[in-house]
Each structure stands twice: as C-alpha cells, then as structure tokens.
Structure 1
Amino acid sequence: MSTDTDRLVTLHGPTMGTRWTARLAQGRIPPGLGAALQDCVDAVDREMSTWRPDSTLMRLNAAAPGAWVRTGPDLIAVLQAAARITEASGGAFDIGVGEAVLAWGFGAAQGRTDAAAIRAALRQPLRAEVECCPARNRVRRLNARQLDLSGIAKGHAVDRMARLLRGRGIPDFTVGLDGEILAEGLRPDGRPWAIALESPDPDRRAAHGLIELSGRALATSGDYRHRVRLGLDWLSHTIDPRRGGPVRNRLASVTVLAADCAQADAWATGLMVLGEHAGPALARARGIEAIFLVRDADSLREVTTLQPGDLTA
C-alpha cells in the first residue's frame, strides 16, 4: 500500500564536516540531480571553507591587508550580506572572529586552545573591514582580522541548493545542511513541511517541537553541539566578536525564520550572542521571527517572536 511518505525522494551527501540533504515530494529523481546538488555545496566549500587552505576565503586571509584577491560573485554576495547583518546587529554578528575561533579551540583547531592567542583576541573587538569590488570580481581586507564565514556559509549553501531545484522546475522540496533548512511548496499530503526543532541536549537528539514551513528558511544556533571543555567549563563555539571569547549568557539556542537561509543563519548567530534579553528585544524591533530557549536553573523557558500557532509542541 502506497503512502505519502513513499512518494518522498531523499538525496544526501557529505560536505563541510556534516551532510547535506534534499527531500523531494515526487517519486522520480531527475537524472544527475544528486551530482548537481553535490556540486553546489562543494563550490561553496571551495570558496568559503576555513578548513581548506586552498579555499578563496583562506587565500583572502593569507593576503596582506589592502591586497586585492580575485573571487566570484557568490563570495562577494555573502560578504556583503554579512556586513549588512553586522551593522543591523550592532556588531553581535561579525565575520572577523577567525583568530578567536582558532584560539579557543574551535573549527580547524579541533579542540586545541592557545592561551596567548586567547589573550590577544580578548584585547579588542574583532570587527572585520572588507571592501568588495563586484564589477571586477575582487575583494580585499582593510585590516588584519581573519575572516570566518561559519555563521553564514552553510545557510548560503542551502540557498544555492534551493536555487538549483527551482531552476530544474521542482516545486516541492526541503534542503538542509546541519541546522539550516529551507522548505518550498508542500508535502505529498498537501500540507506544509513539518520541521523538527531540536531540543538543546548535548547527550541525545530529541525534538523540542515542530514548525510547519513553506517558502521560508530556518536556522538554529545553540550551545549544545559544537563545544570544547576548558577546565570545569564547557564553552560554546559561538564567539562574541565584541569581546573575543565564547558567548556567556543563558541562551541554549536561537532558531530564526527568514526568507533565505543565509539571513536566518547569520541572525541566529547574532541573536545568540546578544543573549536572553537583548536578543528578543532586537528581534521584535526588527520584525525577526525567532524562538529563544533560555536556561532557567534546571528547566528551559521559551521566548518567541513567532506568530501564535506556528510552533507545535
């Protein structure tokens, strides 16, 4: 007996230390679609990875401040989007955190902390200064900040996959990479896509609730998956660029809904940095749809700027 679930086609593959996934609400896979989706995310990785010394981003980081580096329009678009969100968030989101990410043992440092580099990162705000020249496909850093696009690149990769599927005439799908998801159209049963929001538990994977999504993207930033231990403390991988160290507030996670996934990804990071009071206040002021999970002693408290009924427990 056929069910709606039987009509879903799932494609997936490795990228950026995790996996990308696409679910299509149709029974036939267009020829070469899986390979084309893999090419999408691989292209983003080649441009924006901090793990690959040959990526365009790492070539930009290696160039002297003021030196132009040739790049493509995608990286320029992401750098420009990041700059807009940096300004709108008051510096809570900033791509100039590369030195601090490595100093605190995250990313390519793989848990190895560097005390001297930590002290250097803590001395000043990590504000990136980048100039883009789209007409000539080139970019330059205007200061010595090392750039890290971890807070926006995965969302951009999801947007690229969605763009490819739309271009192939596929109307109903979800695409995801880690905690970043974009949903288009409807499921086979005619309803919006049901997306599980993860509970912020470092020891197991469980759903906090469900949200129905169509024509929008969703991204989550949290303190419970990517972290390192320093002494008796667990430190979140999210760096506060205003102080050069991991965030220290009571937020367990922030989930943001937006028109595109790059924007959701960056805002989830920025609101996580702002914390349990300033984060919701800015989200309301800017009309950002977000779900904040706040740690209160041994329980979680939910603060949301979503419309009533969007989230199902």
Structure 2
Amino acid sequence: MSTEIPAAERRSLSGPTMGTRYSAVFFAPAGLDETKLAAALQATLDRVDRQMSTWKPESDLNRLNDAAVHVWVPVPAELMVVLQAALRIGRQSLGAFDIGVGDLVGAWGFGARPAPGDSPPGGPVVPKPAITAEALELDPHLRRARKHAPLALDLSGIAKGFGVDEMARVMRQFSIPAWLVGIDGEMRAGGAKPDGAPWVVAHERPARDVREAMGVIELLDRAVATSGNYRQYRDIGARMISHTMDPRSGLPLENELASVTVLADTCMEADAWATAFLVMGVEKALPFARATGRDVIFVLSDATVETTL
C-alpha cells in the first residue's frame, strides 16, 4: 500500500463581502472539501459584516451608534476585539486613527446615507466629533459598550483587515498549509508556496481611474494593507475630496500623501495603521514608523517614495 502524500494543488475561491469581494488562493491536497471551506469563509465574513457594517441598519455597530448616551449596549466578541484595537491604535497614533468619524463620513457623501444636496460650495459644516477614546467606554468582561457623548462610529479603516484575519483563522482550522487571503487591497499570507517561494502581491500605483503595479511585495506569514486618496473621492466644485477624514480637524484629509502601505503580523493592524499614517502625513509618520519599528511604504502625490523597509 502506498503511503505517498498527495501533492498540494493550487485552488482559489471568491465571494461577495462588505460591498466588494473576498479572494482566497491556496495549496491543499486533493481531498480537501472545497465546498465546506467556501461555506466557512462566507459564514465568517457574513458574521463580521453583520456586526461591523455601517450600511446595515441592524448591525451591532449601528445598534451602538443608535443607542442613547450612557446606555450599556451588548457587544459580540468579534466587535469587542475590533473596538479595543481601534481605541488602542487611536491612543498610540495620538488621535490620527479615530473611529468616531461616522457623521463626517456621511456628511461628505461617503457613508450609508446620501450627503445633503444643499451643502455650501466648500462642503458641509459638521461639528467636530467627540474624541472617541474619551467618549466610548468598553467593558470587555461583560461584552458591553456605552457612549458618554453623541458618537457615530465607522470601522471602515479596520473592519476589512479584521475580516481578512478571520479568513486566515478559517484557513488554519482547515489545516491548509499555504494560503493568501484578501479583501480588496488588504491581504494576509500563511506559509510558503510548495516550492518554498513567498507569496507575491502587487504594490499598486496610486493613480486615479487606472490600475497598475509600481512594484511587488513578498509576503511570508505577514499581512499588508494600503490606504490612499485615489480610489474613493468626490468632486465638490474644483476640489477633490478624499473619503478619509482627519479626526483632528473634522475635515476631509488633505496632505502630500497619495498612499500608505503597511506590513504587519495581522491585517487588522496593517489596515488601521495605514489609515493612521495617511492622516499623520509623511513628515510625522515616517519618523514615527521608524521609531516604532513598523514596515511602511509612503507614496507622495509627486510619485516620490519613502519607506522604512
């Protein structure tokens, strides 16, 4: 009787999630039940979306957003993990990353509710939101949260990264030795390819209306995420308005950065820090990234590249 181990085959799966699509490329023996894996990935991502979407009125995040001030709201385990991480990264980034920008996102036309049609030429006037670290209280032991001031939370800068990490967890549960999973530009790799090579992903050139690579990034048990101003934007008069809000000014972000790409051990960390560094601007973010040992690629609007790699 032969004891030869079946060769790993290259497979791929994809499906809808969070208003876009997920992808999974992996090497696994022929006996893997691909239907069960696809179902597990979809169920996992659907759970994340049900909890963290601002577009689903019944999501757990929107239950918290709609709750009265000072009222405790039950929070599921996954959402609690993301909220804790968001507050931690908010403190570490000195407020550059702040999930309490939901009203700003909506007012400028990037949220679930359409922007008002009668905004002044310079854009809507929105009160600066409360500092989330001060306005949001978490009780992880009892899995509950409450607001101490009006606050609209938006997890678009961290939830997709967490979703990718949850996909990674599923791949490990199925004992798949080598995989690359992602949602849009948020990617995470596990193991090497059968020939020992790392996974390779494109580092996209931050150009509007075109998609082309300006380089490649090799991943081996690491995650990568990119934030930029070149995919989601609106034109208001002669101004191009970025979908990224600056929580410090209460306005859409305007600085010299076109994109920021972060490599980290988890995609949630890479996702959130890419947004934080984008908001900081290169003059503050580059020395901060170097001092904290983070792997980052900064692409400026003039195509200049700065990196800590």
Is the structural similarity TM-score above 0.5? Answer: yes
8 A Cα contact 2:107 2:115, kept in partner? no
Counterpart contact for 1:257–1:289, Cα < 8 Å: yes
8 Å CA contact retained: 1:78, 1:152: yes
* 1:66-215 superposed matches below 5 A: 66-109=70-113, 115=119, 118-121=124-127, 124=128, 126-128=130-132, 129-215=135-221
Residue in structure 2 matched with residue 273 of structure 1 by the alignment: 279
- Give the match's secondary structure for 1:25: strand
> 1:24 is matched by which residue type in structure 2?
F
Count of residues in Structure 1 that have an aligned counterpart in Structure 2: 296
Alpha carbons 1:252, 1:293 under 8 Å: kept: yes
Are the structure 2 counterparts of residues 240 and 205 from structure 1 closer, same or farther at C-alpha, using a change threshold of 3 Å?
same
Query: Which residue of the partner structure matches residue 27 of structure 2?
Result: 25
- Hey, what's the Cα distance between the residues in 2 that align with 1:182 and 1:135? 29
Residue 295 (structure 2) pairs with residue 304 (structure 1): no
CA shift digits 1:251-283 (9 cap, x unpaired): 010000111011100000000001121111211
> Where do 5+ consecutive residues of structure 2 fail to align?
1-7
Q: Does 1:45 align with 2:49?
A: yes
2:288 corresponds in structure 1 to 282
Identity of aligned residues (%): 49
Structure 1 stretches of at least 4 aligned residues deviating more than 2 Å after TM superposition: 26-31, 109-118
Aligned-residue offset at 1:120:
2.4
Residue 149 of structure 1 aligns to which amino acid in structure 2?
L
- Using a 3 Å threshold, how does the CA distance of structure 1 residues 125 and 50 change in structure 2: closer, same or farther? closer
Distance 1:61 1:113, change over 3 A: farther
Alignment root-mean-square deviation, CA:
1.7
**Equivalent pair of 2:45/2:167 in contact (CA under 8 Å):** yes
The normalised TM-score by structure 2 is: 0.92
Tell me the distance in 1 between the aligned counterparts of 2:140 and 2:279.
Answer: 30
Correspondence for 1:64: 68
> Are residues 8 and 99 of structure 1, via their aligned partners in 2, closer, same or farther at CA, if it must alter by over 3 Å?
same
| 8 Å CA contact 1:162, 1:175 repeated in 2 | yes
Partner Cα separation in structure 2 for residue 302 and residue 119 of structure 1: 34
Aligned partners of 2:159, 2:38: CA distance in 1, in Å? Answer: 20
CA contact (8 A) 1:40 1:161 kept: yes
